[in-house]
Amino acid sequence: MSRLLGLLGLGLRGGLVVVGVDAVRKELQGGTVRCVVLAGDASPRAVDKVVRLAAGRRVPLVAGPDAAAIGARLGRPPVMAVGVRDRGLAEGILRTTPQREGMED
């Protein structure tokens, strides 16, 4: 998970990620997100909002650490979802982290 958090931190500094459920949903609707990292303790409402949209757009989901750990790494309060806009960064994240399965309900 530390590699994932490091990649997200780099992405934030480079402007390659969007942070938060609402921002991720907006970018998913616009078709600019290559993968989504969901906090392991994300609320059911947040999961429902992001997972359905990501599944409909065929955007891979990655199981991340808890929201507090993601937020701490990004210098923010707890973060439940991060959308990755850059293809190379998304590929790096997908190679190092298992995708979230069984969430297409």
Class (C level, CATH) for 2-96: alpha beta
Cα separations (Å) of 101 from 10, 51, 90, 98? 26, 11, 17, 9
Whole-model pTM?
0.90
Average pLDDT over residues 4-20: 96
For residue range 25-56, what is the model confidence (pLDDT) as tens digits?
999 999 999 999 999 999 999 999 999 999 99
